[in-house]
A and B are shown apart, each in its own frame.
Chain A
Amino acid sequence: MFDEDNFNENGELNNLNKDEENKIKSEIGNNETKSEKEEEPSRKLVMPGELLNEGNYKAGIGTYIADKKIYAATLGLLEIKGQYVNVIPIKGPYIPKVGDSVIGMVINTSIVSWKVDIFSPYIATLHATNYLNRPFNPLRDDIRQYIDIGDTIYAEIISFNRTRDPVLSVRNKGLGKLKGGRLIHMVPTKVPRLIGRRGSMINLIKDYTHCKFKIGQNGVIWLQGNKFEDEFLVVKIIRKIEREAHTLGLTDRIKEFIEKEKKRSDVDNGVN
């Protein structure tokens, strides 16, 4: 809910309680804890300002309360989860969240840090000490010999609020500078669908294309495959997911799509 005075002390929108936040997180696809449901809930397209109040529900993400009624705050898909009414936005900017993994491009250097464009309204900072894991002396060391302008990094947001731009960290496993591969941009709000329930979608794509993936919650995907054809197929798949993100049974349809495409490319190769 986007209530006016609803900021917590960190300056973030206090829209959820802890449990709910964890729930959403798992839905967003940090693919660890999620009880598998038999059927996906049906999704309805709602407009900003649409009345959602049906029974005794609580206002979840993407909603607001006025006159004790719940309204949608964005153009998105209605989702009822337990007590909460949520609206998953169809479009929209990436708003950084602490704990998110993002892919960014270094756009500037200062003496002891890098400025990273994370394709969001805010520019992130990565400190040299964090990257090098040791004290950094700018008198002896040149920051650009480690990461230069134009390089791509995969990092985690460790702090962000309304008084401070996001700060990145590369300390965790799998994070750091990205070499080679290919970057694809997609709508950030659709990244959860690319991952799927417990990573079902991304695992499916990995099985078929044998590509390595790094997924940024900001809608940037890095991938590296053995063959150009594989990478190209992934691009096609991602575009398809983006288009059909709000439809039901997407994973099955993607599976069909991949098999069809594979067959076609096999035939092409045979002819050649």
Chain B
Amino acid sequence: MELIKLEKPEKLIDENNIRVDGRKLNDLRPIKMEVGVLPKANGSAYVEMGGNKILASVYGPREVHPRHLAESNKAVFRCLYRMATFSVDERKSPAPSRRENELSMVIGQALEPAIFLNYYPKTMIECTILVIQADGGTRCASINAASLALADAGIAMRGLVSAVAIGKADGKLIVDLNNVEDQFGEGDLPIAILYPLKEVSLIQFDGILTNEEFQQCINLAYDACEIIFNKQIEALHKRYSKEIIEKDNKKEA
């Protein structure tokens, strides 16, 4: 997927309701998901959502360091979101920025309700997310990757978390914003939904929407997340299904 240069286009949506990257209003960007990419991590996942390339890894449950942070009734869940220096147009300083710290917290809080933390008392589960390439909506892509990695690590979970950003550009509601739409659009509403209970675990909003539009956005997010959720399930099945194992056997023989 080619990245669109970050400059203000004349129109974000043309008269045929086609967006800058050729998508229709409710289309998602192409998604690629792979589970179990890092053998040393307990669980890992690689996700591409359009131009976003995200690598998530999960370590633990393991001992808490420093020890005094341990909680006697539940596990400590830590999430670390980092962007590679080369992930954006202008070199990003490798020092953790305010934005990265905030996103670490936000992603962690979106994933925490999905995990049965009380099943692993006095331990720590660490989730590291590395953004290799950023193209708008990295927090949503990160949540998708991290929930896959958690499932891959065999951690007890209520279900997977799927996230997507809904926004507004040129007066129209659009699904899964890219970088240009994110920068020059009129609104950005990332939503994460916890399956199978379909509960919202993250909602942030930036911009101006009417009450009605907001409700529409939520409905659009439910529809879009459903698609992403199915892709996540597919990725996990692909990693663990019997066919793969049979293929491995054939190779050996």
Which residues of chain A have a CB within 8 Å of any CB of chain B?
2, 4, 7, 11, 13, 45, 47-51, 62, 64, 66-67, 71, 73-76, 89-93, 95, 121-123, 162-163, 165, 189, 243-244, 246-247
**Known pairs A71-B196, A93-B154 / 7 extra A-B pairs, C-beta < 8 Å:** A2-B118, A45-B237, A45-B240, A48-B151, A48-B159, A49-B159, A247-B242
B144 within 8 A of A: no
Question: Which residues of the partner chain A approach B42 to less than 8 Å between Cβ atoms?
Answer: 91, 93
Compute the total of residue contacts between A and B using a CB distance below 8 Å: 99
Task: Classify the interface of chain B: helix, strand, loop or mixed.
Answer: loop
Contact A75 B236, CB 8 Å, known A121-B61, A123-B63: yes
B residues whose Cβ falls under 8 Å from a Cβ of A: 42-43, 60-63, 72-73, 116, 118-123, 151-160, 195-197, 233, 236-237, 240-242, 245, 248-249
Question: Given A50-B196, A244-B245, do A92 and B122 touch, yes or no (CB 8 Å)?
Answer: no
- How far apart are the CA atoms of A247 and B233 in the complex, in Å? 21
Using Cβ atoms and an 8 Å threshold, which residues of chain A touch B196? 49-51, 71
Q: In the assembly, what is the distance between CA of A169 and CA of B206, in Å?
A: 59
A243 adjacent to B72 (CB under 8 Å): no
Within the assembled complex, what's the spacing in Å between the Cα atoms of A4 and B151? 19
- Known contacts A121-B61, A123-B63, A247-B242; is-contact A74 B157 (Cβ 8 Å): yes
Contact A47 B160 (CB under 8 A): yes
User: How far apart are the CA atoms of A247 and B72 in the complex, in Å?
Assistant: 38
> Which residue of chain B lies nearest to A43 when distances are taken between CB atoms in the complex?
B242
8 contacts between A and B (CB under 8 A): A48-B151, A62-B156, A66-B197, A71-B196, A73-B158, A74-B156, A75-B240, A162-B73
Q: Decide: A91 near B237, CB < 8 A? Known: A48-B158, A49-B160, A162-B72.
A: no
Cβ contacts under 8 Å, A189 to chain B: 154
Chain A residue numbers with a CB within 8 Å of B195 are 49
Chain B hits for A45, CB < 8 A: 237, 240-242
Are B153's CB and A64's CB within 8 A? no
Report the minimal beta-carbon distance from B12 to chain A, rounded to whole angstroms. Answer: 36
What separation, in Å, do the CA atoms of A4 and B241 have in the docked complex? 31
State which of A49, A66, A75 has its C-beta within 8 Å of the C-beta of B152: A75
Residues of A within 8 A of B240 (CB): 45, 75, 90
Are A2 and B160 in contact (CB-based, < 8 A)? no
Nearest Cβ in chain A — how far from B56, in angstroms? 15
B121: chain A residues at CB < 8 Å are 11, 162
Provide the residues of chain A in CB contact with B159, threshold 8 Å. 48-49, 71
